[in-house]
Amino acid sequence: MKKFLLVVFLCLFSMMSYSQCDPDFDPFCEDTDAPIDSGVGLLIGAAALYTVKKLREKNDTTNQTPGIG
């Protein structure tokens, strides 16, 4: 079942990649840049927050049981 869902997902994802228009082929297509700036910024922010969370968990000594770890 997992393989089937993976194949369906990949097929749908590949169809979305073909939805971009080609300005050389279509005269009514506008050549616009992909809006990846905000997505990359959000990804970097999420990675920074996750790093801070993991560092705080590593340095937190109040929740450790004596003799373990």
Structure tokens at 12: 């749908």
Measure Cα distances from 25 to 29, 30, 31, 69 in Å.
Answer: 8, 11, 12, 63
pLDDT tens, position by position, 13-60: 776 666 667 777 777 777 666 666 667 788 889 999 999 999 998 888
pLDDT of 3 strictly over 80: yes
Residue 67 has pLDDT above 60, yes or no: no
What local confidence, expressed as pLDDT, does residue 40 receive?
Answer: 79
One-letter amino acid for residue 40 of the chain: V
User: Rounded to an integer, what distance in angstroms lies between the CA atom of residue 29 and that of residue 23?
Assistant: 5
Residue 57 — φ and ψ, nearest 5°? Answer: -65, -35
Separation in Å, CA 4 to CA 9, 10, 11, 15, 18: 9, 10, 11, 17, 22
